[in-house]
């Protein structure tokens, strides 16, 4: 009886001790990471060809620590042979993940395959029940922004947008050069223009040089300048024929004609009346004769020889007093008579004598 009581007390104390150890260990494990290296698998029973994904975390992992290193893992067969080995660098928070395909020449036997994950001097083990069988091809479908790497969908890295230049266009993600624009049509200029730097520029008009008393018209033809009442010309007008013959209005003969006309003839009423009628007759043919002189040098010299005696006789008019009607009229009639004698009577007399002489010889 005493032995039974003693045995019961011993059993009770042993039970309390075991329970107390289990509860304390559980509380201690819940308040801390169970292991320095913790791992888990996406499956415990593995078929042939299955994609096994191992996820894990490291306790108190410091990526900046000099002792921080890589995680190494190996998979051993039931015969303790290596079937898979690898190494990876954990993320900055201490988590990591790797995967492998269960199957192949090294996965010959069914049974427990051990996955050992090592970091530093710590090791974590997972036991996978490999059942073998027919090859199972696990189909993993990724989204459009993911790619399949070792049976796992990984997000694709976003590529920078393609930027084309101003002379390109984006076609199916590629920059294609634009077709060059057609060349501009050729520039055609008129006959009075010339092409300069792709533009038609009007030619400069040719400078037309006209003689004294004439000016170019709109067509470039020299025309006689009409005498206007308000023109600053001498009272008697221009000596067109004499000016064209002697070449300039500054010639002494032209100055003599102007002096006689302005200071002597026009100083009297009879002289003014005579000049008015003379100018009407003179300017009816003088412009034409002056143009002929400019166009024909021989004709010009002939006129010069012809009018020189007449111009010389006009010097007689300088003897008349300014404003004297009698002297101007008398000397004027004398000059006219003298010129009629030189230009009409004398040639007629010479012609008559020559004709008479020729007739007498017959």
* Alpha-carbon span 62 to 89, nearest angstrom: 12
Q: Do 145 and 238 have their domain in common? A: no
- Give residue 232's pLDDT: 41
If one counts the domains in the chain, the total is: 2
SS3 284: helix
Angle 325-340/297-313 helices, nearest 10 degrees? 130
Would you state the pLDDT for residue 135? 56
Confirm whether 5 is domain-assigned: no
Q: What CATH number does residue 124 fall under?
A: 2.60.40.1930
Residues 356 and 237 in one domain: yes
- pLDDT, residue 298, reads 93
Kindly state whether residue 185 falls inside one of the protein's structural domains: no
pLDDT at residue 362, rounded to an integer: 64
Judgement on whether residues 139 and 242 belong to the same structural domain of the protein:
no
> What are the φ and ψ backbone dihedral angles of 177, each rounded to 5 degrees?
-65, 135
Q: What is the pLDDT of residues 294-336, one digit of tens each?
A: 999 999 898 888 888 888 888 888 887 887 888 888 888 888 8
Full residue range of the structural domain in which residue 355 is found: 214-360
Same domain, 241 and 346: yes
- pLDDT < 50 regions, the chain: 1-2, 10, 14, 17-31, 33, 228-235
Which residue stretches of the chain are H helix? 2-31, 240-246, 252-259, 269-295, 297-313, 325-340, 346-360
- The H or E element that residue 47 is part of is strand 45-47
Residue 230, both tokens: 């308000």
Neighbours of 299 (CB within 10 A): 15
Residue 9 belongs to some domain of the structure: no
**What pLDDT shows up at residue 288?**
92
Does residue 322 belong to any structural domain of this protein? yes
126 and 44 both lie in a single domain: yes
- pLDDT value, residue 222: 74
Do 149 and 258 lie in a common domain?
no
Please check whether residue 48 is in contact with residue 103, taking contact to mean a CB–CB distance below 8 angstroms: yes
């Amino acid at each position: 009886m005493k032995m039974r009581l003693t045995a019961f007390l011993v059993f009770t104390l042993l039970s309390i001790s075991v329970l107390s150890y289990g509860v304390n260990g559980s509380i201690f494990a819940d308040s801390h990471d169970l292991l320095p290296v913790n791992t888990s698998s996406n499956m415990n029973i593995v078929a042939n060809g299955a994609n096994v994904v191992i996820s894990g975390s490291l306790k108190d992992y410091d990526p900046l620590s000099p002792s921080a290193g890589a995680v190494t893992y190996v998979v051993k067969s039931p015969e303790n042979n290596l079937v898979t080995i690898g190494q990876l660098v954990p993320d900055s928070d201490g988590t990591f993940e790797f995967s492998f395909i269960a199957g192949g020449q090294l996965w010959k036997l069914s049974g427990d395959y051990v996955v050992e994950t090592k970091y530093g001097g710590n090791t974590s083990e997972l036991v996978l029940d490999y059942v073998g069988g027919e090859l199972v091809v696990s189909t993993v479908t990724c989204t459009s922004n993911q790619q399949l790497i070792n049976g796992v969908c990984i997000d694709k890295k976003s590529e920078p947008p393609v930027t084309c230049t101003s002379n390109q266009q984006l076609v199916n993600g590629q920059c294609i050069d634009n077709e060059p624009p057609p060349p501009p049509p050729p520039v055609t200029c008129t006959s009075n223009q010339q092409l300069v730097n792709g533009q038609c520029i009007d030619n400069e008009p040719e400078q037309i040089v006209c003689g004294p008393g004439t000016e170019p018209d709109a067509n470039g033809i020299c025309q006689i300048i009409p005498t206007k009442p308000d023109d600053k010309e001498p009272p008697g007008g221009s000596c067109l024929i004499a000016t064209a013959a002697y070449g300039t209005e500054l010639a002494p003969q032209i100055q003599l004609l102007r002096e006689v006309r302005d200071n002597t003839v026009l100083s009297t009423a009879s002289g003014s009346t005579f000049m008015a009628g003379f100018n009407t007759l003179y300017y009816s043919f003088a412009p034409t004769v002056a143009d002929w002189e400019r166009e024909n040098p021989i004709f010009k010299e002939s006129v010069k020889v012809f009018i020189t005696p007449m111009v010389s006789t006009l010097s007689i008019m300088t003897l008349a007093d300014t404003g004297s009607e009698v002297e101007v009229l008398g000397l004027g009639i004398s000059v006219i008579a003298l010129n009629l004698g030189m230009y009409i009577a004398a040639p007629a007399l010479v012609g008559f004598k020559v004709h008479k002489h020729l007739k007498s010889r017959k």
